Amino acid sequence: MDTQYRPTGSAARALATPAAAAFCLARRRPQMALFALGLAGLSAAAVGHVRWFTRVAESHAIPVGPGTLIASPTFLMLLAATLGVMALVQRVDRWLVQRGNVVARLAQRTQPSMTRAAALLVRIGLALYLAGLALLFADAPVTLAPDLHAPGAWIAPHQLLLAACFLSRRTVVAGCAGLLALFAFSVHQFGWVRMVDYHFFLGVCAFLVLDGTDAPRWRRIGLAIFRLTVATSFMWVGIEKWIHPAWTQDVLQHRLPVLLLGQSPEFVAMAAGFVEVALAFLILLGGVSAQLGAIALMLLVSSAIPLAGVVDAAGHVAMLFFLLVLAGTGNGLAGLVQRVVPADALGAVCRFTIVVAGVTGLYFLAHSLGAGRGRAPDWPQLRIALAWAAVLAVWLAHLVYACRQPLRGPAPASRSRIAPG
């Protein structure tokens, strides 16, 4: 691998205009230029799937333990800043809804039409994604992602057949069956730990099958499953930057050193993880912020493509369509959660802490126990991870129990007026 990344050809031409604009901006407003460049660098590092670009990623690498994370001053500083942002976003979320702000009204108006078009957009995204993988990796087939190389002349024709199935609503169930078969083959080839990165495919199939029933209740459930799996997939990959920081640092040092902007690879990798995790959390449990978070993540994914290249474009084309759906549909999960946890700043901080800590614990448990062949267990770190995952499990159980109980008394004033999608 080259020790220094120098864009050439079309990449150099693509970067020429932004570079010139940044130079002009830096002469007039240096603080703004530094902020813009830093945000662009963080965004590109945040949404890129580092397994696609690094050669040091191994499923059996030793993960950083949760105890080590919370002992890091940098991690604690970024965590405190993120919790502050979550509290502020919750306040803005409530203000947008209660004041009938134009942003909230616009979000409400787009929900019915986008909900009706959601399945079509998801099917188009899947068709483009599978056809792109089949054509781009015709010489070295991959199953479901650019890093999942597997031998087999049948893979590319199978992907093209699935793409054709997803173009028609009549054959979408057959397409989902074929996609699940390809997912099962990938689990057999690469192991379940690695395929957890791509568990959103399961949610996509569930959504498309339930949407085909034409029953409003099942369509809402399918859309909720779709939101859950897409958001947690982004969160899982963001947490990867904390648990396996060497993978992201390798990409930053050897492929994209321009994104460092004088900062250490360790800091940029950890900060990028927080950006991705925070936006994924908003998509999962935010109100109006869920739609705005999906728009922000969609823009960040798009902005990273010119830097990362055609592989990144092919690997994220489906996600762009998925985020477009989430940006236009209401978040029914937020209303359910607000029946249990108050919709205030403290509640948002508690939800973020419980969810992110729990998923981090699950990530460490999966990569320590599921992928640690012949490695002695790190019991102190495992106990911390198990405790975090247990807290999340108890909170989810309480949430499910509370949602099954009828509401008593008048509805809280803070409840969103925007109908869930």
Express each pLDDT in 188-207 by its tens digit: 999 999 999 999 999 999 99
CB 323 within 8 A of CB 106: no
| Beta bridge pairs of residue 142 | 149
Phi-psi region of 22 (alpha: psi -120 to 50; beta: other; left: phi over 0): alpha
pLDDT tens profile 343-401: 788 989 999 999 999 999 999 999 888 765 667 788 999 999 999 999 999 999 988 88
d(CA 134, CA 317): 14
CA distance 381 to 364: 9
149 forms beta bridges with 142
DSSP 3-state of 110: helix
Domain membership flag for residue 19: no
Q: How far apart are CA 366 and CA 200, in angstroms?
A: 17
Distance, in Å, from the CA atom of 54 to the CA atom of 139, rounded to the nearest integer, reads: 20
Enter the tokens of residue 410.
């008048």
1 SS3 class: coil
Q: Quote the domain boundaries for residue 110.
A: 31-404
Average pLDDT over residues 213-241: 95
Residue 3 token pair: 């020790």
The 3-state DSSP class for residue 149 equals strand
Q: Is residue 320 part of a domain?
A: yes
Residues whose CB is less than 8 angstroms from the CB of residue 89 and which lie 6 or more positions away in sequence, other chains included? 282, 286, 289, 348
Q: Given this model, what pLDDT does residue 420 score?
A: 45
Number of domains making up the chain: 1
Q: Is 90 exceeded by the pLDDT of residue 47?
A: no
Q: Which of 54-58, 108-112, 114-118 comes out lowest in average pLDDT? A: 54-58
The first and second tokens of residue 70, run together, are 């919370």
In a domain, 14, yes or no: no
Q: Which amino acid is at 2?
A: D
Which amino acid is residue 318, in one-letter code?
A
- Assess if residue 345 is contained within a domain: yes
Is residue 13 one of the residues assigned to a domain? no
**Would 15 be classed as within a structural domain?**
no
Mean pLDDT of 131-150: 95
Domain membership of residue 365 (yes or no) is yes
Domain annotation covers residue 181: yes
Taken in order 237, 239, 244, 247, the sign of the CA dihedral is: positive
Angle at the Cα of 381 (from 380 to 384), degrees rounded to 5?
90
Query: Do 364 and 385 contact (CB within 8 A), yes or no?
Result: yes
Q: Which amino acid is at 386?
A: L
Confidence bin at 90 (pLDDT 50/70/90):
very high
